[in-house]
Structure 1
Amino acid sequence: MAKPDNRADNEVHLQNAIDNTMANINEAEDYLDEHADEISATDKQAIEAKNQRRRQSIQGFIEEKKDEANQ
């Protein structure tokens, strides 16, 4: 038998995802600040691109959290 769909804590999980993703962005930016002169331009560009994808994910999490709050 399938488990019932329990969405009671979805907002909490989404907020955790937002917080963790922000922490990853900050960690990557700190790394770039400290080691930008030691890494290749390709690696730097890859980190910046990944952070951009993380920011897009955060926007998706925020929209999903808004949807959950309205239900």
Structure 2
Amino acid sequence: MSQHQKKPNPDERRDNLKKIQENLNNTLENMQEAEDSMETASEFQEEEIKKKNARRREAVDGMRDELRDEHAHQKRQK
């Protein structure tokens, strides 16, 4: 491997639970802020917020699955 080629980063999982939980919390907070902003939003903005929050709900489901998987992985490593 030449000095200009990068080596892949090792799989660093020690702080995965923390990172996933932070992302989950931020997404839930963003969803709530978006819901709150709908009070003053136009019809178009309200539709866009609903669409975005639907995508966020899907992401939340994925993050929750990821949290469960990572938690199980860490338990197996002990």
- For normalisation by structure 1, the TM-score amounts to 0.85
Percent of aligned pairs sharing the same letter: 36
Equivalent-residue separation in structure 1 for 2:38 and 2:44 (angstroms): 12
Query: Which structure's relative contact order is higher, taking Cα pairs within 8 Å and 6+ residues apart?
Result: 1
Question: Following TM superposition, where does structure 1 have runs of at least 4 consecutive aligned residues deviating by more than 6 angstroms?
Answer: none
Counterpart residue number, 1:62: 64
1:25 aligns with 2:25: no
Structure 2: runs of 5+ lacking an equivalent: 1-6, 74-78
Which amino acid counterpart does residue 62 of structure 1 have in structure 2? R
Normalising by the residue count of structure 2, what TM-score does the alignment of the two structures yield?
0.78
Partner of 2:76: none
Q: Secondary structure of 1:27's match?
A: helix
Aligned-residue RMSD, C-alpha? 1.1
Question: In the alignment, which of 19, 31, 34 is matched to residue 13 of structure 1?
Answer: 19
Gaps of 5+ in 1: none
Larger Rg: 2
Q: Quick one: distance in 1 between partners of 2:48 and 2:59? A: 16
User: In 1, distance between residues paired with 2:26 and 2:45?
Assistant: 22
Query: 1:7 aligns to what SS in structure 2?
Result: coil
